[in-house]
Structures are given as structure tokens and as C-alpha cells.
Amino acid sequence: MAENGIGASVRRKEDNRFLIGKGNYTDDISVVGQTHAVFVRSPHAHATLNRIDTSAALAAPGVVAVFTGDDLVADGIGPLICGVTVTSDDGQPHRAPRHPALAQGKVNYVGDHVAVVIAETLAQAKDAAELVVVDYGVLPAVTNTADASQPGQPQIHNEAPNNVCFNWPFGEKAAVEAAFASAHKVSTLELVNNRMVTNAMEPRAALGEYNSGTQEITLHLTTQNPHVHRLVMSAFNNLAPEHKLRVVGPDVGGGFGVKIFVYAEELVVGWACRKVQRPVKWTADRTEAFLSDAHGRDHVATAEVAMDAEGHFLALRVMTQANLGAYLSTFGTMVPSYLYAFLLAGQYRTPLIYSEVKAVFTNTAPVDACRGAGRPEATYLLERLVDIAAADMGLDPAEIRRRNYIPKDAFPYQTPVVQCYDSGDYVAALDKALALADYAGFPARAAEAKARGKRRGIGLSSYVEACGIAPSAAVGQLGGGVGLWESAQVRFNPTGNVQVFTGTHSHGQGHETTFAQLVTELLGVPIDSIEVIHGDTARTQFGMGTYGSRSLAVGGVAIAKACEKLIAKGKKIAAHALEAAESDIEFAAGNFTVTGTDKAMSIAAVAFNAYVPHSYPEGLEPGFDENAFFDPMNFSFPAGTHICEVEVDPDTGEVDIVRYSAVDDFGKLINPMIVEGQVHGGIVHGIGQALLEGCRYDSEGQLLTASYMDYAMPRADNVPSFDVDYAPTNPPHNPLGVKGCGEAGAIGAPPAVINAIVNALGIRHLDMPATPEKVWRAAQQAA
């Protein structure tokens, strides 16, 4: 292993700037002559937009411009698009109502964009926004997932009768029904997967600049995928040709999915800076973020499992209603379909699975990917159902899982729901987790807690995550409008240091360190001489960005491939310089060596030769700079078992997580310190969903949880420290042997926590979030 290479917990290269206050987030950037944008938002969940009077706002001090939807339409801008097609049961594509960046004729959720006010100062823009007079014709609203498609509900879009976006059946219905008919036992569960607000700590922001000399727009955005933003805004929103649009995602303060999507504010800022010929800046305040960021989850589902007399799963049937909000966000359709139903096998051999997903529109903010995206919903449903099945069969939760796991010698394993898992050893992870959690010692701890008037519970969750979505051909077959390869460029400078350009984007994941470790391992260049560059369409060659735990599993491999190309070229250069045959040149630890001799040349010297090719192989291009693209053959399938132990106070309903153990299979770890940090963060995201977080609209569509006063984020005193370990297997399709790790905790944690609470109280089910009130009521009923 190279020093600071693969497997080393190297301190992060990016930390210094963040620790001294020199991070460079979008709102930190100010440019000469910049104006400030404030959006006028609908206070109503559902209303006709009869008239917008902007005259008083236009006359207010400092106001530069006020624009409405008509102005965008006049310039041919928009509408916003959804990039993934799901075919409904009538054979038609999902219903895709027009999604204007500034509303036209109608508003469909509280926070919907009505107008934008641009002024010299933020205060002036805010003051003037108050002066925009909007005549709304208020309509009844529908916000509830389960009710939205019922007869008699308000209709949101003419294109979507009964507010149904799609009804998507998947699987062998008749075979599943036959299996249920002959089953020894059927266990059933109805559940709600609570709506989340993603809440990256940096609110969304945009800064648009237009250069009238070059006709180029530069947009600094809080984005996880600058090239995707550029592509969508150019190809579909008509903002500017791709080569005249530069999108920069500078330092981005957390993503978790919410900064993947192309939002109205971003498009409007990009357009308005050209319109007013001045830089325009917009930064969401937190309430705006709650109102207008894409939300996550929000399912209502019924799940049933059919079992034989030994508790083997024979068939699974899942009926789901998924809330997509008022409009389709960029990947809104994909989350409750392909990223959900295709994960319903979990870690189990269940041979038959049937799923129906009805996706509905409601008068709420659009719903899209939130850390895990579909996979937490699938895992929560499955892992809760497995615990109920265990109870119904009188089996220990660990035992019923063990009986049904896909065995380690069965990989590659074709599930009945499209996915073909490449690798895994679920028993190994379970056994390690049981030991880590001292599962055997739990009864004694529970008895001791009981003596103190507390109730202890323990809960397991075995998850599979499908991430690093690929290959591109499969994405296309599923109705996705993009390819999901990744690209890299590795460039030596003549003085021997290295710049690595990646198409992924880091917003907390530590790519600047992990990717540098990869390069130091492969090329032998000291890590301090390697700089990883990302997040700017003008600097990086291309890329699909960071989401779905893809950066290392896809983007890292692209970097490795570019390094291989450099080594291949370097051998030619070294062979010439060392007067040897190319086939006699070996490369190791940063040096090209003639086999069996001490004749050697460092890669830095080779790079210098390539840029100063005075004595150089005939016909070889100068330069030491290689591009590579990587399109994986399959998804990556991290998996693991998490075990949560809680202590419940039946008098207050308070839940104390007293122990949490996670054993994950992420394949090979490049930087264990960073990976463990990803696990911690994911678990707390999941604990937040399980115990605290719940986005609530009232029946009129007012968002009740629109600030941190009302939406409970997990805080340091809500969670414990964690016991983390690994049970790695090697993914055969991944040249680096790595799997994704960023979402695992958010997927594994919610069912582990709820299973523990249910176990503590001796009840059948409790919907998330398990607030003290809910837990107290359940404890009283159980007692």
C-alpha cells in the first residue's frame, strides 16, 4: 500500500479551508453590481391566479425588475421537466403536467412561485415583494397521500384524472396470488413512510452572471451535479446553449439528494441575469427551503408476506401509494418506482414478488430523492414486515432473517424484481452485528431495565442498497433520459504534480481526499502533489454528479482508468528514454523500471519528457493528460445488518437509543475514517426519520412544519455514539472492489429503530416518527 493510499484514514485535504472559514459556498460569493432576487410565493395550496399587479413593487425603492410567468413564456424559457418515464397500467406514460418555473393561471402548493422581484439590496427586494398584489381564487386542496386519488377530491391537473400520475404494477400477480392461497401463514402490515424534508444545512442558492460580450451565462448553484444542471437547463429549459452556459457548484453545504434537481429559482436566476444585464443572487431562507425544496418519502403501503410452516418466505405482495407533490420534480417518478419496487427482495430469497405503486399528485411541495431515495421506503416496509412475520411464526427476528437470506454461494443472484445482486455474505454481517450488539446478552439488560421501570427493546434491520445506478443501457430501458457513466481526467503538469478532474461532485463526502488517495496508490505521486477538482463545467470535462452513492463506485473507477492510460503511455516514454523495449518496462510505486535492472525513471520525469519532448518516441503525442469514462456493468449492492437497542420510559414515552451497532459490506474501503463518518451521518438521518422528523401539511395545505421550531431535526443529545464494523465481500464487476456507502445508514436505521421500540413495548406496529406522545400512548395501551 502506498503511503496515504488505499486503506489509510488520511486526514481530509478539504478540512483546512472549512475550519478557518474559507469555504466558498454560493452565498459567500458576491460580485460587483449584483442584485438580489426574492420570490413571491403562493400563500395558498391551490388557487387560480387571476391577476398579478406588479406596479407598486416596480415603483418601490431599489427595484430593478419584477417578472412573472408570462415573461418566462415570452422568452421561451421552461417549463421544468421530469427525466424518467414510468409506464402506467393503461400503457401510457406517466401523466406529466406542465411545470412552469413561475406559475401560470394556477398555483398548486404553498410556496409555489408566482413572481420574482429583483432589487439593489435584499432588503429592498423583500420589501417590494410585499407590494406585489395577487388576486387568488382559492380552491379546495388535497394534501393527504391516501386520499388524493379518491373520488370527489379536488382535481389538481387536468392531465391527471383523480390526481393519479401513474399506476404501476410490477411482478407476477397470478403466481403471487396462488402462493398466498396455499400459504401456511400470511403476515400483513399497513404502514406510513413519513414525509421528510431533506434539510441540507446550507440552504439552496443561485448566483447568475451574464457576459454580454461572450453571451455566456455563469450560474453558481448549490448543485450536486453541475453538468446535469447545465444539460437540463440547456436541452429542455431553453436557457442557453450548453457551450454558453457555465454551471459551478462551489463548496456545497450538504446535499442528500435535495440539490440534484433543477429548481424554478435556479432557472429564473439564470434567465433574469441576462434579462436585467446584471448579476442576480438568490439565497433561500430556511422557511423557503421547507416550502420549496423537494421533499422525500411520503408513502402509504400495505405489505403481505406468505410463508411456509418453517417461516420461509414464499411470496410478497406490496400495495403502495406514493405522494409526488404538486408537480413532478426532476427524478420524482423514479423514486417510488424503480428505486423502490426493485429493492423489495431485500436480502431474501422470496421467489415471487408483486408490487403496485399508485403515484399521486397533491397540493404539496414536489417529492423526489432524499438520502436513500426509494430504498429506505422499501427496506423499512420489508424489515418491519419481517419482524411481524417473525412474531406471527414465533421465531426470533434474527432466526427468520437467517432462514431466508440469499446464501453467500448463490451470487450472482437474480431477484424476481429485476436486480441481479453481484455479491454479498448476509450471514457474516448478521453474525458480526449480533456479536457487536451483544444480542445474546439482551435479555439480561432488558430485565435490569425493567427493574428500573424502563422497557428495553432490540431491533434488527438487514438491508440491501442498490446504488451506483448503471449501466446506462439499463437506465435507458427503464425510461431514464440520461446515461449514468462517470468521467475523469488525470493531468500531470510539467513539474510533476497532478490535477484530477472528476465529474462527480463533493458536498461533504471528502472526494478531494479519497480520490487523491486512489491516485497516490495508482501513480505513486505524493498525496500533497495531487489536487482533485470538481464542480465546474468550465473546468471538468463532463460528469453526472453525485447521488445514489455512485461517486467512488463509478467516478473512482473512471479515475483509475485514466491512471491506467497514463501508465500505458508512460511506458512508451520511459522505454524510449531508458533505451529499452516497451514490453520490458514495469511500473510500480511511481517509477518506470526496466525489468531486471536498476534503470528507472520517475513518473514525474516521464511527465516532464511528455511536455518537453526533445527526445521522444516517434509518433507519440506529447502531453501527459488522459481522459476516461466508466459505464459500470451493474449497480453496486452494499448491504448490512444494523441493530438498535432502545430504552423506553413508559411514563413519558421518551425513547433513548442506548446502543446502535452497524455492520456493513461496502467492499474495499479507501478511507475508513471517511466511510465511518458516512455511516454515522446516515444512521442519524435514519434515526431522525424514525424518532423525530415528520413533515406535516394541514388539510388546507398549509405547511405546519416550516422551520426548525416545528420540524424536529436530530440533535447531538438525541443520538448515541455508534459501534461500526464491516463484513466486506468483493463486487466482481467493480474494478476497484468498492461499493457505495453514503446512504446505507439512512436505509438501515429506520426499521432497526422502530423494530426496537415495537419490541420494547410488545406491540405490533407504530408509525414513524415515534414521538414521545405516540410512544406513550402505545405504552399505555400495551400496559
Partner 1 sequence: MPTVKMQVNGKSVSGEVESRTLLVQFLRENLHLTGTHIGCDTSQCGACVVHVDGKSVKSCTMLAVMADGCAVTTIEGLASGAQLHPMQQAFMDNHGLQCGFCTPGMVMTALDIVNRNGNNLDEATIRKELEGNICRCTGYHNIVKSVQAGAKAMEG
According to the binding rule CB under 8 A, does residue 20 interact with partner 1? yes
Burial class of residue 712 (count of CB atoms within 10 Å of its CB; 0-12, 13-18, 19+): middle
Which residue is it, cell 413561475? 102
Calpha distance 394→388 (Å, rounded): 10
Whose CA is closest to 276, among 80, 127, 58, 104? 58
Q: Shortest distance, CB of residue 720 to partner 1, whole angstroms?
A: 8
Residues 379-418, mask of contacts with partner 1 (x by CB under 8 A) = ----------------------------------------
Q: Shortest distance, CB of residue 708 to partner 1, whole angstroms?
A: 4
Residue pair 219/229 in contact by the 8 Å Cβ criterion = yes
Among 41, 46, 94, 507, binds partner 1 (CB under 8 A): 507
Q: Shortest distance, CB of residue 707 to partner 1, whole angstroms?
A: 5
Q: What's the Cα-to-Cα distance from 283 to each of 127, 198, 750, rounded to whole Å?
A: 16, 17, 32
Task: Let me know the angle formed at the C-alpha of 357 by 364 and 185, rounded to the nearest 5 degrees.
Answer: 130
Q: Shortest distance, CB of residue 306 to partner 1, whole angstroms?
A: 37
Positions 262 through 301 that interact with partner 1 (CB under 8 A): 285-287
How, if at all, do strands 639-648 and 455-464 pair?
antiparallel
According to the binding rule CB under 8 A, does residue 111 interact with partner 1? no
Q: Hey, what's the cell of 116?
A: 420574482
Cβ atoms within 10 A of the Cβ of 25, count?
18
Whose CA is closest to 179, among 355, 344, 303, 313? 313
According to the binding rule CB under 8 A, does residue 31 interact with partner 1? no
Tally DSSP H helices, then E strands, for the chain. Answer: 20, 30
Positions 481 through 500 that interact with partner 1 (CB under 8 A): none
Q: Shortest distance, CB of residue 236 to partner 1, whole angstroms?
A: 29
**Interacting stretch for partner 1, rule CB under 8 A, among 20-28, 162-170, 496-504, 775-783?**
20-28
Residues 232-251, mask of contacts with partner 1 (x by CB under 8 A) = -------------------x
Among 103, 117, 200, 527, binds partner 1 (CB under 8 A): 200
Among 1, 30, 32, 309, binds partner 1 (CB under 8 A): 30
Instruction: Decide whether 628 or 669 has the Cβ nearer to partner 1.
Output: 669
Q: Which residues contact 634 (CB under 8 A, 6 or more apart)?
A: 420, 422, 470, 471, 733
How many chain residues are in contact with partner 1, going by CB under 8 A? 58
Positions 455 through 484 that interact with partner 1 (CB under 8 A): none
HEC string of 268-319 equals: HHHHHHHHCCCCEEEECCHHHHHHHCCEECCEEEEEEEEECCCCCEEEEEEE
Calpha distance 720→743 (Å, rounded): 19
Residues 707-746, mask of contacts with partner 1 (x by CB under 8 A) = xxx---xxxxx-x-xx----------------------x-
**Interacting stretch for partner 1, rule CB under 8 A, among 53-61, 76-84, 453-461, 678-686?**
678-686
Instruction: Decide whether 477 or 721 has the Cβ nearer to partner 1.
Output: 721
HEC string of 345-414 equals: CCCECCCEEEEEEEEECCCCCCECCCCCCCHHHHHHHHHHHHHHHHHHHCCCHHHHHHHHECCHHHCCEE
Q: Shortest distance, CB of residue 583 to partner 1, whole angstroms?
A: 44
Instruction: Decide whether 25 or 348 has the Cβ nearer to partner 1.
Output: 25
**Dihedral angle sign, alpha carbons of residues 367, 369, 372, 375:** positive
Positions 119 through 158 that interact with partner 1 (CB under 8 A): 123
**Interacting stretch for partner 1, rule CB under 8 A, among 130-138, 518-526, 683-691, 772-780?**
683-691
According to the binding rule CB under 8 A, does residue 19 interact with partner 1? yes
Calpha distance 782→149 (Å, rounded): 34
Residue 487 host element (H or E): strand 486-492
According to the binding rule CB under 8 A, does residue 71 interact with partner 1? no
Q: Shortest distance, CB of residue 546 to partner 1, whole angstroms?
A: 12
Instruction: Decide whether 49 or 684 has the Cβ nearer to partner 1.
Output: 684
Calpha distance 621→616 (Å, rounded): 9
According to the binding rule CB under 8 A, does residue 254 interact with partner 1? yes
Among 69, 376, 681, 694, binds partner 1 (CB under 8 A): 681
Instruction: Decide whether 30 or 781 has the Cβ nearer to partner 1.
Output: 30
Q: Which residues contact 522 (CB under 8 A, 6 or more apart)?
A: 560, 563, 564, 567
Which residue is it, cell 450471514? 427
Among 102, 417, 684, 754, binds partner 1 (CB under 8 A): 684
According to the binding rule CB under 8 A, does residue 16 interact with partner 1? yes
Calpha distance 301→191 (Å, rounded): 5
Positions 510 through 529 that interact with partner 1 (CB under 8 A): 510
According to the binding rule CB under 8 A, does residue 705 interact with partner 1? no
Among 673, 767, 771, 782, binds partner 1 (CB under 8 A): 673
Which residue is it, cell 406491540? 763
**Interacting stretch for partner 1, rule CB under 8 A, among 154-162, 311-319, 690-698, 703-711?**
703-711
Cβ atoms within 10 A of the Cβ of 612, count?
11
Calpha distance 113→236 (Å, rounded): 19
Among 5, 8, 27, 379, binds partner 1 (CB under 8 A): 27
Helix 375-393 × helix 744-761 angle, to 10°: 30
Q: Shortest distance, CB of residue 722 to partner 1, whole angstroms?
A: 6
Instruction: Decide whether 74 or 716 has the Cβ nearer to partner 1.
Output: 716
Calpha distance 163→145 (Å, rounded): 10
Among 496, 508, 543, 694, binds partner 1 (CB under 8 A): 508
Using CB under 8 A, list all residues that contact partner 1: 11-12, 14-23, 25, 27-28, 30, 123, 199-203, 251-256, 285-287, 507-510, 673-674, 676-677, 679-685, 707-709, 713-717, 719, 721-722, 745
